[in-house]
Structure 1
């Protein structure tokens, strides 16, 4: 060995010992090698422990046009079998060998890399085994246009250089593995940070995708989730990574591929059930085989140009399944190390999913509880003036019997009757006597909202579904899940919403406005109307199928005029309750007034009776309720309509206060004041006078 050779080996050894950067290290090695052995292409392959598989570790070009070099196929980033490749022949006698490229092409005509090298004018190849500790770990190949004039001494030098290169490769692989693991730890930390700080789906999945993209470049990132017990297709999250495509967050394969239905999509995913249960790499020809076998894979093969797929199951358990997938148009995009990296991260991504869904469920429950609280407060504040069905008439007893019969079931009930007869009370009684009484009774008056808002009230809406929809809203059917929903004035429901209500009644399914996810509800429906729905059906204003679906168990409330015996108990109940609410003394009813009220036709039914009692309590003095001068007092059934227009409660109260002030000469307080005459606190009277616009000077004058 010459001193120049020794100097070369010493320099290479020093470079290998002190250089950690892969590019710098091998650039130095190749530059030194070319000083002694002229070559145009250098390649280094590494073998697995069993010397069964190979991976191209390095390829570099010299004196090769950049455009021509770019035509060389990209080397796979993963191990491929040695059998069937030229390395199989080289390893038959693992020593320095010099061969003509044409000989290898004759023996391995399908080996594309050598075909391209031959097209670039390469004619000769020198192979050098790489050994570490006596074990074969790889091969160094030097390819040239001109035949190298090498001696036996040169071959011996190449053997020594091969041993040094083997050390360099081993060191670099070890450093890369350390760097990969450090990268994994950083990635795990970043994903954990995202897990703790992000509580919305899209930002969380973008964060996970961006972190993964740092170590495993891809074009599509997707997570598919199938919930147990749900008939809808997988929930899909995927991001198209190629900026030029300009596509937003979307599914890897749409839920409705090639114009199919959601059910079709679920069927396609069910076909992949076995495939999605195990980690896998499907690259190039392997992915093409999947495309032949599975329609869904054929779709993404044709429509999105996918040629490589990495699959890692996140969980397979009783409550469903979740799968993470990365895809690329590059058939060599992924390797075993990438699969190992994603598998190592799978538990954290699975935990992120679990936490996300748990947080969403908590938020949904919080929203539902808050909505129920709001509705219950509203219900308490707007509860009908009678909190139970009062009376002992035969007609009312029949209603109570029918309530008792149907309450334990989940049957839909249609309550009909005139305005003010207490249809909401029947709904409340049904709910309170049912197994659903622990859940909320949710009410909606179909005539109280514009038609365009009723659908949102019934079914809820997604954020951005329409102008003003700043956040997701839970509809009343969601709130009533497990409870009862009372749809008052159902005859006012627009025809287009009648069809959607029919679907809920029949299928227990609906979607929020602006949403596509099918939701289910177990709400017992009680509907009410003061119209004759059969007439509405005949007139074309109400769907016949909805009418028959609602009218499963009809309950008809009798008008108050048909049960005069119930007037007295209703009066006494109202007097007792309203006296407490208005902080008024409990006053009696004169027999003559009671007889007159029993003879009254009550066109407003129980609600009108309540209003009459409230007005009487406000204006009465002394031990008896004063109905004198009120339009309803003593009016016989045949004279139900008063001759003069009825005053409002505000007008009645103002006139009464003015009359009292007139008697006291405008004095409000004291022994001769109007407050004593009206039996209220002077401060309260002054506040009411101010509210009604009554001034003392006017009163005194």
Structure 2
């Protein structure tokens, strides 16, 4: 008949050979063991191969009213040095002692500081050996002294060897399960990478898959990209808000934690070394990080973070990326979790590279499409004189001065202010200036400040984020962002509202701005060219234009003379327009009678070159004979409204330019029933800005008709 000791060993052997579940196995082991060795507590510590680190593998209590919680760090590998276990490792045999004897040289050792309160009187330490190699220790604690004999100690040695095998088998099974789980995780992430292309859905799916293997409260993929000021921007961040059952919530990547960008930059600079190598920080280790690094202290105090995994994804010349998991549980992560994270870095690195490429392609597509739109618009709406040859038409001293000033300022990045009456060609000057600069390969982006309602100009200038206001269904890139590296032409700058003038001033001074509804600071290296038909100095004096913005814009002024002051350019402009417009309209090129040419040269042209072009276009359309006819159509200058056979006006009875301009405006108002603006207004007929027409009317003493335009 087998003895009780032999029966116990057989039962333990059978359990170890047949039971694979850790909890079930050690429940059987401890139950059988207590039949011979009554104890109140059992604990198993396992060691690494170097016998320098320990980890709590198992701890069970029996009949204890107040079981102390597992001390911080005990479920992770921690150094043996400085603990009572180093005494056991130095002499690995069955040992019996009181807690006081055991802790004599370690009075502050946390795992055992409650033994006296629990009434523990006796400790038995049993070494765990496999093939003569020490792998750990089994500890039995009792409230009464068991009076173990030498035979009992011998039996405990045999039991220790069996339990060592059980522990090794359990660890092996756990490793197999972990690797299988890791392979499943990698497969899930690979499938996600193949099926999802958007940043937030992609990394939400990655985080969800990862959370099935490693419980965490926060998932953060932080990226530092070359040429960007943000240190490790929040590329993809999710949180469970300390609730493991809650779904992952995407965090705002631009949140500031109550800090400004400089503070955050400084904090990340301090942690550069920390973010360069994989690390698991928990319990005392994480408290030390919180003491050393201000950003860690903030997450420790404000978010209750007690453990963190840090895994660099890559670090190279174009930036760096790091994956961070955090937990409010100080023992929430294991060394195996860190190994799992490290094994995933190739996939996450590939996902990042693919996303960067995909996002860059999308940004370039959007930019190319917008630039194409702007370029097509520029072709369709550009001032047409000089469009074929790329040069100005005319040789007047005023025009030569403009060309000379363009050549002087073009090689620089100096801000230019173009002033002149409506129709004098300010946009053409802006284009010629842009084309003469080193920026000519990029688009000239245009915005007419008078063409949009005030509430839309800011969105046009600086862009907006999705949801910034009603109707903002998607993010829009603003003109300054689009003009980065090129030039931006701000026409009718005098119409810009005062509140936007301050924001424009910031762009000119700091080269930075934010989209509407956004918090991210954007930068634009755009050369600013502004234009106005107002006298901005007068607008400043009247309080309608900021003086500081005026001085910032008026660094290099270019003033365009009205057509009436450069009459020698009328004939070459006329011939240019006749040739180009006749070709476009499919009409034969007709000559201009000398008398009509003289009349055209004598006219004041309040609409300047644009008015001349429109008069010629109408003449080309209606003319039938060998000469252009200027009489008999709406909008012709009053002086040309008589039959074309009339001779050129003599010097007797010639009206002043002011009188001619007044008559011309009155004729337009008569034709439109006194309406100034709108689709049927005189401003459209005269092809000038309604506000400019109103200013002219006021200056010439023309009163508006009540109830119209």
- What residue number does 1:579 align with? 582
- What residue number does 2:593 align with? 590
- What residue number does 2:520 align with? 517
Comparing 217-226 with 607-616, which one deviates more in the overlay? 217-226
Q: After TM superposition, give the deviation of residue 633 of structure 1 in Å.
A: 5.4
1:215 is paired with a residue whose SS is: coil
1:363 is paired with a residue whose SS is: helix
Say if 1:489 and 1:529, in contact at 8 Å, map to a contact too. yes
- What residue number does 1:613 align with? 616
CA distance in 2, matches of 1:221, 1:120: 40
**1:46 and 2:71 matched:** no
**1:136 and 2:144 matched:** no
CA distance in 1, matches of 2:639, 2:252: 74
**1:394 and 2:393 matched:** no
- What residue number does 1:668 align with? none
1:63 is paired with a residue whose SS is: coil
CA distance in 2, matches of 1:35, 1:534: 102
* 1:653-664 → structure 2 map (5 Å cutoff): none
Comparing 116-125 with 540-549, which one deviates more in the overlay? 116-125
CA distance in 1, matches of 2:560, 2:51: 90
CA distance in 1, matches of 2:546, 2:326: 50
**Alignment counterpart, residue 69 of structure 1, candidates 61, 64, 67:** 67
CA distance in 2, matches of 1:526, 1:83: 72
CA distance in 2, matches of 1:447, 1:639: 28
Comparing 77-86 with 394-403, which one deviates more in the overlay? 77-86
CA distance in 2, matches of 1:211, 1:367: 33
1:525 is paired with a residue whose SS is: strand
- What residue number does 1:555 align with? 558
**1:318 and 2:313 matched:** no
Deviation track 1:91-112 (CA, whole Å, cap 9, x = no partner) reads 3432223333343244433233
Say if 1:309 and 1:327, in contact at 8 Å, map to a contact too. yes
CA distance in 2, matches of 1:11, 1:202: 54
Deviation track 1:244-265 (CA, whole Å, cap 9, x = no partner) reads 598954479x9645x4421122
CA distance in 2, matches of 1:627, 1:91: 113
CA distance in 2, matches of 1:57, 1:239: 32
- What residue number does 2:207 align with? 209
Deviation track 1:112-139 (CA, whole Å, cap 9, x = no partner) reads 3323344233322222211111111111
CA distance in 1, matches of 2:432, 2:345: 53
Comparing 295-304 with 48-57, which one deviates more in the overlay? 295-304
1:27 is paired with a residue whose SS is: helix
- What residue number does 2:225 align with? 227
1:502 is paired with a residue whose SS is: helix
Say if 1:560 and 1:605, in contact at 8 Å, map to a contact too. yes
Q: Indicate how the Cα distance of structure 1 residues 610 and 426 shifts in structure 2: closer, same or farther if over 3 A, else same.
A: same
Q: After TM superposition, give the deviation of residue 556 of structure 1 in Å.
A: 1.0
Q: Indicate how the Cα distance of structure 1 residues 74 and 38 shifts in structure 2: closer, same or farther if over 3 A, else same.
A: farther
* 1:230-629 → structure 2 map (5 Å cutoff): 230-236=228-234, 237-242=236-241, 244=243, 248-250=249-251, 256-257=256-257, 259-386=258-385, 387=387, 388-629=391-632
CA distance in 2, matches of 1:521, 1:80: 52
1:91 is paired with a residue whose SS is: helix
- What residue number does 1:12 align with? 12
- What residue number does 2:650 align with? none
Q: After TM superposition, give the deviation of residue 151 of structure 1 in Å.
A: 3.7
Deviation track 1:272-305 (CA, whole Å, cap 9, x = no partner) reads 2222223223322232233233222222222222
Structure 1 unaligned regions, length at least 5: 649-701
Say if 1:482 and 1:522, in contact at 8 Å, map to a contact too. yes
Q: After TM superposition, give the deviation of residue 615 of structure 1 in Å.
A: 1.6
1:609 is paired with a residue whose SS is: helix
CA distance in 1, matches of 2:197, 2:493: 39
Q: After TM superposition, give the deviation of residue 164 of structure 1 in Å.
A: 1.4
Q: After TM superposition, give the deviation of residue 243 of structure 1 in Å.
A: 5.1
Say if 1:72 and 1:116, in contact at 8 Å, map to a contact too. no
Deviation track 1:602-654 (CA, whole Å, cap 9, x = no partner) reads 11111111111122222222222221234415356442324644658xxxxxx
**Alignment counterpart, residue 188 of structure 2, candidates 183, 187, 190:** 190
Say if 1:440 and 1:480, in contact at 8 Å, map to a contact too. yes
- What residue number does 2:660 align with? 639
- What residue number does 2:702 align with? none
Q: After TM superposition, give the deviation of residue 148 of structure 1 in Å.
A: 2.7
CA distance in 1, matches of 2:535, 2:80: 85
CA distance in 2, matches of 1:244, 1:274: 31
Q: After TM superposition, give the deviation of residue 53 of structure 1 in Å.
A: 1.8
Q: After TM superposition, give the deviation of residue 202 of structure 1 in Å.
A: 2.8
CA distance in 2, matches of 1:217, 1:384: 65
Comparing 362-371 with 313-322, which one deviates more in the overlay? 313-322
1:36 is paired with a residue whose SS is: coil
CA distance in 2, matches of 1:243, 1:275: 24
2:35 is paired with a residue whose SS is: helix
CA distance in 1, matches of 2:601, 2:530: 30
CA distance in 2, matches of 1:625, 1:226: 67
Say if 2:40 and 2:142, in contact at 8 Å, map to a contact too. yes
Aligned-residue CA RMSD (Å): 2.5
Q: Indicate how the Cα distance of structure 1 residues 93 and 404 shifts in structure 2: closer, same or farther if over 3 A, else same.
A: closer
Q: Indicate how the Cα distance of structure 1 residues 265 and 182 shifts in structure 2: closer, same or farther if over 3 A, else same.
A: same
Aligned residues: 644
CA distance in 1, matches of 2:408, 2:50: 79
Structure 2 unaligned regions, length at least 5: 641-654, 673-709
TM-score, scaled relative to structure 2 = 0.85
- What residue number does 2:644 align with? none
Q: After TM superposition, give the deviation of residue 592 of structure 1 in Å.
A: 1.6
Deviation track 1:585-607 (CA, whole Å, cap 9, x = no partner) reads 32222222111111111111111
**1:161 and 2:182 matched:** no
Q: Indicate how the Cα distance of structure 1 residues 296 and 75 shifts in structure 2: closer, same or farther if over 3 A, else same.
A: closer
Say if 1:307 and 1:329, in contact at 8 Å, map to a contact too. yes
Deviation track 1:281-337 (CA, whole Å, cap 9, x = no partner) reads 332223223323322222222222223233222233222232222223333233322
Q: After TM superposition, give the deviation of residue 458 of structure 1 in Å.
A: 0.9
- What residue number does 2:684 align with? none
- What residue number does 1:116 align with? 114
**Alignment counterpart, residue 169 of structure 2, candidates 156, 168, 171:** 171
